[in-house]
């Protein structure tokens, strides 16, 4: 999300109910687990293993970086 999109998203926060604000704060305050990060990454690569950035077929794990697998 770029800065302009982020500012628009923040502007929408004024319309949230108290319960919605609490839920948003809880979700944003929790660190993402490794499993949820990996699921997010896997979900971005379709069944043909296309790269979400360049749309090249055959996306594969190329190794490890900074402790990620």
Q: What is the pLDDT of residues 1-44, one digit of tens each?
A: 888 998 998 899 989 999 999 998 988 888 778 888 888 777 77
Q: Is residue 48 packed enough to be buried (19+ CB in 10 Å), middle (13-18) or exposed (0-12)? A: exposed
Task: Indicate if the pLDDT at residue 45 is higher than 60.
Answer: yes
Same domain (yes/no): 40, 16:
no
Question: Residue 60's closest CA among 42, 43, 35?
Answer: 42
Domains in the chain, number: 2
Same domain for 13 and 25, yes or no, is yes
Indicate if 11 and 36 belong to the same structural domain: no
CB under 8 A, 24+ apart: contacts of 36-45: 37/68, 38/69
- Judge if 37 and 57 occupy the same domain: yes
21 and 37 both lie in a single domain: no
> Looking at the structure, do residues 37 and 24 belong to the same domain, yes or no?
no
Domain that holds residue 14: 1-30
Are 54 and 43 in the same domain? yes
How far is residue 55's CA from residue 57's CA, in Å, rounded to a whole number? 6
Residue 61 has what pLDDT?
65
- pLDDT score at 65: 62
């Amino acid at each position: 999300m770029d800065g302009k999109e982020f500012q628009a998203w923040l502007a929408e926060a004024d319309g949230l109910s108290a319960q919605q604000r609490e839920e948003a704060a809880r979700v944003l305050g929790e660190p993402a687990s490794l499993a949820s990060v990996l699921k997010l990454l896997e979900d971005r690569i379709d069944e043909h293993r296309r790269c979400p950035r360049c749309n090249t077929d055959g996306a594969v794990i190329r190794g490890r970086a900074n402790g990620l697998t």
